[in-house]
Structure 1
Amino acid sequence: MDETVLITGCSSGIGRETALSFLADGWEVYATARNPADIQTLGEKGCHISTLDVTEADDVERVIDEIIDEHGHLDCLVNNAGYAQPGPVEDVPIEQVHAQFDVNVYGPLRLARAALSHMRERGKGTIINVSSAVGRVAVPGMGIYSGSKFALEGISDSLRGEVDEYDVDVVLVEPGPVDTEFYDRASDEIEGVERSGGYDRFYEMYGDRQAVDGGMPGAVHPKEVADTILDAANVQHPDARYPVGTVAQLTDYARILPASWLDKLYGTVSELSTSDWVKKFFD
C-alpha cells in the first residue's frame, strides 16, 4: 500500500526539499502552497499539487478530503508552512502578531484536527510539526515568532500524549538557521515595523547581521532538515524532538541555563554587535 504524505509550505526551502525527499523515497506526496504556480515544478516531478492556505479552514478540509477520497488514508502530515515577523515585542503591530500565530499555530492545529480523525480510525499516522530552535529558547527581537513556536511546541507535547493510544506519533523538528529565503522575507517584514524609538540598538544589530556575507551563521542546507523529517516519518517509534544543526543542538542545551545567564549573554552580544565586530566574528 502506498504511503501518503501531505506537506504544507512547499514553494521553496524546507517544504520543497521535503517534498522531493519523500518523493524519492517512494511516497505519494501531496505538496501544497498558497500559490500553485510556485509548486508547478514539483507537479512535473510527480507530486500531487494543490492550493492550500493554512489560515483557511475550507482549504484544509478540501485537501484532506481529496487525499482520503483518492487514497483512503493519510500516513503523514508535515506542518511546515511558517511566517516570521521579527522586531521588538513593543514594535510589532498586533495585526502582525495575529497573522503570525494564524500561520504558525492555528494553521498546524487546523490541519492536525482535520487529519486526526482519519489517523485515529486507522490506528496509524505521524504528525510532524516544523518548529525552530527559538521555539525552545527565546531571543530578543524574535519574541513574537518565538512565542508562536513555543505555542506549537506546547500543543505538540500535549497532543503526543493524547493520541499515543491510537498509535499516532507527534514529532517536533527544530532547525536552527537554515539557508533559505525565509530570512530574506523576514528581513523585508521588519522594514514595515513602526519603530517606537526605544530599540535602536536592536535594529542596528539586526542590520549588521543582514549585512554579513554568506548568509546566517551556522545555517544548514534545507535538505538536511528535509531528510530529518523523512527519517522521523519512516521510524516506527520516532523521538519527540529532532534538533537540526549545531545551533539547534547548542540551543537545546542552553535552555537549561538560568535565565539570568542567558540575559547576560544577550546583553554582551548586544553591546559588542557593532558592524565591524559582527563582520569579523562571522568571517
Structure 2
Amino acid sequence: MTRSTAGEPADVGLRDPIPRVRATVGVVVPTRGRPDALERCLDALRAAREHVAFDVVVADSTPDPDVRALGAEVCARDPWVRHVPHDLVGPSAARNLGARESSGEILVFVDDDVYVEPQAVVRLAAAVEATHDSVVVGGTVAMEPWAPDGGWSLLMVTRPNGFCRPVRPGERPTFVISALIAHRRSLVIDVPWDEAQRYYDDRLQCLRWLIAGARLELEPRARAVHDDVRKPYPLAQERDRIYANLVLALVLEDDPRAALGFETLGLAHSVKRVVRNRAQLGELLSGWAGAHRRFLADRPALEALRGRARR
C-alpha cells in the first residue's frame, strides 16, 4: 500500500528496520459467518509471520453449521491457526474467549474483515513490548471504501455531543478502533471486555482500560485495510453509546458538566435520527432509560476499578 492520506505520508516509517520481539505473540480473530473474509484475513497474516512468529486463535460464532464448517476448513490449512467454535454472543465475548485460548504474552486482535500489511503484527507487538506500562496500541486502519481519503484510523477523543473526532495535540485520547489493536494478555485477563456491550464495544473497553490505568497509543507503521461496508444505523446502538458516554463523563473524568452535555446534545442528535419515524421514538427513549439503569447498576464496580488503579 503506497498511497498517501491526509496527515499520513505514504511510506512513513516503513523503511525503518524491522524490530525484534522477544515476548511470545498471539493473534485473535473473532469471526461470524464470513469465511471468504476470514480466508483473506489469514492470507495477510501468513505474510506477517515472515517477520515474527505467532499463532492465531479464530473465535468463530457462526450459527449456520455449514458456513461454520467452511471457516473451519479455511483454518485447517495452516498448523499455526486454531479454529475455536463457540455460541457466545457478540464480539466482546469472542475477544475474551480468544484471549483465554491464546498463550501469547502479547495479543494482537484483528477483525476478520481486516487485512494487515506484512509489518503490522511485528510493529504492534514491538510497540507493546517497548514499554513496561499498561498500554493499548492501535494500528492505522484504512476504513475503505466509505471514509474520506480512505480514513486512516487515529487516536480519538469524544466530542460534547458524545461522538468522536481525531485527537488534537495535548488531548488525552479516549478511544482507538479495535479492528487492529495490541496489548499484553494480562490486561484483558484482568479487565476483560464487557460482554453486555453489543455496540460501541471498543469505545467502552478503551474507557475501562483507561479507568484501570492503561494508556492508548498509535503505531502508524502498523497498517491494514478494513473491508467494511457501512450499514443502516441500528437504533439499538443508542443504548450502548449513551452508556459509554456516562462511563466517560462520570467515572473516567468525573465531570458532571460533560455528562450534561452528552445528555442534552447527544439526545438531540439521536432524536434527529428518528424524527421521521415516530414509532422509533419510544424505542429510543426506552434505550435511553435502559442505559441509565445499567450505568447505575455498574457504577460501583467501575469506581472500584478506578480505585485499584490509583493505589
After TM superposition, the score normalised by the length of structure 2 is 0.26
After TM superposition, the score normalised by the length of structure 1 is 0.27
User: Which of the two has greater helix per residue?
Assistant: 1
